[in-house]
Structure 1
Amino acid sequence: MAATPTAIPVPIEGRCSYFVEKKNRFCRMVPAAGRRFCGEHAGAAGAGAEEENTRKRILCPLDPKHTVYEDQLEKHLKKCNSREKPKPDYFIQDINAGLKDETEILDEPVPISSLSEEQLENLIKKLRKVSKGMDCTLKDQIMSHPALHDVLNDPKNGDSAFKHLKQQASILGNIERLNLLGPRRCFVEFGAGRGKLSHWVGIALQEAEKVYFLLVERVTTRFKVDGKHKNRNSVFERLQIDIQHLCLSKIPVLIKEKLPVVGIGKHLCGVATDLALRCLVETYPTRCKERNEEPVAKRIKKTDTENDTSVSEGSEKNELEQWIPVAGIVIALCCHHRCDWRHYVGKEFFKTLGLGPVEFNYFQRMSSWATCGMRETTLETSKINIKKRDDQTSDNEEHDHEGYRKTDDNPGGLPGLLTVEERKNIGRLCKLLIDQGRIQYLQQKGYNASLQYYTDSLVSLENVLLTALPRQSSTPDSTT
């Protein structure tokens, strides 16, 4: 039987005739009138006689991945996508970073694999001692929401998609449980990625008035879902910025509308959680207070002189006090091994337990034992090797934890005396200890905060949800 001939690719009409071998297709750029090749490929090998007649192209000094005509370099640098762009008003360097104490900066820390058996045992004993006073039993708050009913029952969903939808449904259900799912609010999604969590909140509130979404993500994201809400009541805005430098009180929509903010996040990685908490409960309310105090006095004075009517200063102050800048926080926690002592909000909690940056360094690494390296190795299941892992998870928006992550078994490493289950429990204790520091921080800032399981561990190994409501409003009311 004769073989079917393979179709020979041809360039698209009106597009560049250069064949890109890496992509196994022709370039799709539009060439100048009368030319076969785009500017990028006119001087490339294989461009034929056209190469001799073209102007010289050089590598862009801002990004060598593309080229530019040498005689147009100056013009190109002004519009190159890789140029340093002007910082927006809401960018304030390190505003949420926390105070930097030079005395607490560690030298290169000793990896766990270099600890002696005695040192490791002492570290674990210290962890268990400080954990005795903690409530290690978290309540189940596994919920769902009608907004995701149809998509959850779609047979076309793969296993991974179904798991993420279940998590999003439970987070949405918990937002509703806390009376945070309503009109006249601004939802700030930290580590938004494609914006899936905000998308479902938007679907649930598609008939509500004055609902705004700020999607905070430091990197450019493909396949965003924001566009699905263009013709709905909700307003979506992306902020491409590191949370460390984000000042919410300078966001135009928050200045204008004065809507209560609800901070949300799905699998907010390690240090990003601490930065987001400080951004919400410390930086934002403080800045709002500073911004509002002076105008109140000015408005009172102006009203007295122009309208000759008396305005009660006390009523103005009461109005400001009733406006709650942050109505609530609902964040699914993740990747405690990516926490950092400088940015950690629970430093005071650690210090009251007699712990410091050294213990924090080891505990945050050991926290990965709860979700990583839990497979049984070829060694005895009652013995394990302990080895530092520099990069234990990929930094993507969804943080898949399907199955157990592989560890690098190192026969030359430290011979441990821990069973797999013991190691998992130690990892959970480390996570809980770090999260308890966050809970105490929120309580000191005037919030009722708690931890709960929001999904089954079979759906996600990172299944803890942090929630917080301001004490003066356990059931937040909408502002008009």
Structure 2
Amino acid sequence: MADAKRPLESKDPEPVAKALAGTLEPQVLNHRPRSKRQKVQGPPPPVPNRPRQCHFLQPNKNKYCSLTTKLGNKFCGEHSMYESATSTTSSDGTEGTNGGPDGQAIRKRIPCPFDPSHTAWADDLKAHLYKCNARPRDAAAHFSKDINLTLPNPKRSIETNDVSAAETGSAESATTSSTVKPDILATLSQEQLMSLIKKIQDSHAKHVPEIRTLILDHPALDERKKILKNIKHAHQQASLLGHMKRLDMLNDSNTCYVEFGAGRGELSNYLKIAVDDHGTATFLLVDRTPSRNKFDSAILGLEEIKSLVKRYTMDIKDLVLAKVPELRKDVTATQRTLPVKDAGSADKTENGDSQDGSEYVEKKPVVAISKHLCGGATDLTLKCLTSYQQSERKHSSLPSPVKGILIALCCHQLCHHYMYPNQQFLKEIDISAEEFVYLTRMSSWAVCVNQTKTEKAGALSEASVDSETSSNNSPAACDDDHRIEADSELENLSNNIPAMDSQARERLGQQCKRLLDIGRVRYLKENGFDAELVYYVDPETSLENLALMAVPVPSAE
């Protein structure tokens, strides 16, 4: 009779087979460096005298494991892997590794291939892998690896020897696009650098129009401003909500608001107050890493009917928005689970049904928001939204599935060529994959601080100087989370190009940023949106004070 507790081996055996073959890389448990002060290690404690206490010395705690061992063993089941390493001496004086009382070989424990933080019996590894809680799960329906990349990931293409890596240039330049060295510009000669600078300046003059400044406010942040000393974030959030109201993004309480790069979800929290939805709106929070002190419970609201709030901890590059269940109209605050699908539903994709054979369900209108969505995350978000717009327009009765987009832009130095959505625009301005790396690196000059002492003194003495070129003592430089410390590379370039002072570098950095942003605007316009760039706060509030705003173009019907 089969063991009822052991899962059937008819399940997907691929992860188990890879683990047994030793080709599965164990997951990394924690990327974060520990910030705690290292404790001074004291002398080891004496060997435990409690009967059958484990003899494994825990190095972090400097004490012995408190678990109980089996009779005749020195280590507990969790640490029994060390039992085989403890040699025993037989009656004739020879040493061996048989530690059992009857001369039997001790079972060996090895780290689990799925999760090395725990162990398993080596002779029963296959059974353990089938029931291990760390076994890789089936990917969710809304997950598709690298679905929102414009070009293949150079790292994966090189690892798999994929010839499609040639689309982004040579293997060497593709690797450089993914991992930019801090001193990458120092590899250019003076002629090459000056030629690239002229190309950027000419393209900026030709393609980038004048950008207007429009600073708005919203009463949802009034109470917050009264209790804060540093209200720069409140000013930014209030202006963004004001623009959402101006663009009619707050007038439908049945909307699904998706915050990309949500972090703690603070912007969605005040958006909840501004919408005043009474539990009818849906809030999706997407972020690559989990956050502490989240606002998720506050977004639920205090009314009897709570808003539908869902957080997805995943990379935007893998998100298929059309398959997120919370976007369905039949998933509401009162009905939070998906209806059971009909087992005999037929595939009717030509009649408007989904590809898996189930009947198509109408989606809620989507409004995408983000405050300071860094670098390539903005490009991935635009690709995700336009893909959703195209797929849903075939079936949806809405004039536009995406009702609005509002993204506060920043950190253009973190952009990647293979993520940038408007490759045609890069060809038009003659920027290659290699030059794209240099362009993104120079974009950081727009928000650089820590200039020379002479420049600091001059910035402090001139009241009319821009906040981006002022010293660290200025409010904007002290408060802004996206400023960049100037490095020795700038000094080296300044020596090679004497006429390029800090103001010229800042101006060139702004031109690099605006070129990338205008390409994003043109990409949205090509996909049916009326998009524009707006300075939504003054530079004293934030050095990254530009927002990308878009609403669908009204249909001709």
**Which TM-score band (shorter chain)?**
0.7 to 0.9
Contact residue 268 and residue 334 of structure 1 kept, 8 A: yes
Q: How many residues align?
A: 394
* 1:172 and 2:251 correspond: no
- Counterpart among 455, 460, 470 of residue 537 in structure 2: 455
1:354 to 1:201, Cα distance in 2 relative to 1, 3 A: same
Q: Which 10-residue stretch deviates more, 262-271 or 118-127?
A: 118-127
Aligned to 2:485: 406
Contact residue 249 and residue 255 of structure 1 kept, 8 A: no
* 1:235 and 2:308 correspond: yes
- CA–CA distance in 2 between the matches of 1:241 and 1:127? 35
* 1:95 and 2:147 correspond: yes
Q: Which 10-residue stretch deviates more, 142-151 or 430-439?
A: 142-151
* 1:285 and 2:389 correspond: yes
- Counterpart among 387, 403, 406 of residue 330 in structure 1: 406
1:178 to 1:344, Cα distance in 2 relative to 1, 3 A: same
- CA-CA distance at 1:254 after TM superposition: 1.9
- Counterpart among 526, 530, 541 of residue 444 in structure 1: 526
Aligned to 1:17: none
Letter in 2 for 1:103: E
- Counterpart among 55, 59, 67 of residue 77 in structure 2: 55
Letter in 2 for 1:464: L
- CA-CA distance at 1:87 after TM superposition: 1.2
- CA-CA distance at 1:167 after TM superposition: 1.3
Give the superposed CA RMSD.
Answer: 3.6
Contact residue 375 and residue 415 of structure 2 kept, 8 A: yes
- CA–CA distance in 2 between the matches of 1:89 and 1:40? 45
Instruction: Map residues 7-156 of structure 1 onto 2, 5 A cutoff.
Output: 45-47=62-64, 52=74, 54-57=76-79, 61-64=113-116, 66-67=117-118, 83-100=135-152, 102-106=166-170, 107-108=172-173, 111-154=184-227
> Helix, strand or coil: the match of 2:273?
helix
Letter in 1 for 2:168: E
1:221 to 1:404, Cα distance in 2 relative to 1, 3 A: closer
Letter in 1 for 2:77: R
> Helix, strand or coil: the match of 1:424?
helix
Q: Which residues of structure 1 form unaligned runs of 5+?
A: 1-19, 25-34, 293-319, 383-398, 475-480
Q: Which 10-residue stretch deviates more, 421-430 or 86-95?
A: 86-95
Q: Which residues of structure 2 form unaligned runs of 5+?
A: 1-35, 41-51, 80-109, 153-163, 177-182, 331-362, 458-477
Aligned to 1:395: none
Letter in 2 for 1:172: L
Contact residue 439 and residue 450 of structure 1 kept, 8 A: yes
> Helix, strand or coil: the match of 1:468?
strand
- CA-CA distance at 1:402 after TM superposition: 5.2
Aligned to 1:352: 428
- CA–CA distance in 2 between the matches of 1:454 and 1:36? 65
Aligned to 2:550: 468
Contact residue 346 and residue 434 of structure 1 kept, 8 A: no
> Helix, strand or coil: the match of 1:442?
helix
- Counterpart among 274, 294, 301 of residue 379 in structure 2: 274
Aligned to 1:191: 261
- CA-CA distance at 1:429 after TM superposition: 0.3
Aligned to 1:306: none
- CA–CA distance in 1 between the matches of 2:412 and 2:207? 18
> Helix, strand or coil: the match of 1:452?
strand
1:146 to 1:198, Cα distance in 2 relative to 1, 3 A: same
- CA–CA distance in 2 between the matches of 1:423 and 1:42? 51
* 1:163 and 2:232 correspond: yes
Normalising by structure 2, we get a TM-score of 0.63
- CA-CA distance at 1:70 after TM superposition: 5.7
- CA-CA distance at 1:40 after TM superposition: 11
Contact residue 393 and residue 401 of structure 2 kept, 8 A: no
Task: Provide the identity percentage.
Answer: 37
Deviations 1:104-127 (A, max 9, x none): 334245921121222211111111
- CA-CA distance at 1:21 after TM superposition: 9.1
Letter in 2 for 1:278: K
Deviations 1:13-41 (A, max 9, x none): xxxxxxx99589xxxxxxxxxx999x996
Aligned to 2:355: none
Contact residue 114 and residue 135 of structure 2 kept, 8 A: yes
Letter in 2 for 1:54: C
- CA–CA distance in 1 between the matches of 2:244 and 2:38? 46
Letter in 2 for 1:285: Q
Contact residue 184 and residue 209 of structure 1 kept, 8 A: no
Contact residue 413 and residue 440 of structure 2 kept, 8 A: yes
Q: RCO higher in 1 or 2 (8 Å CA, sep ≥ 6)?
A: 1
Q: Which 10-residue stretch deviates more, 112-121 or 52-61?
A: 52-61
1:412 to 1:238, Cα distance in 2 relative to 1, 3 A: closer
1:334 to 1:207, Cα distance in 2 relative to 1, 3 A: same
Contact residue 40 and residue 67 of structure 1 kept, 8 A: no
Contact residue 529 and residue 550 of structure 2 kept, 8 A: yes
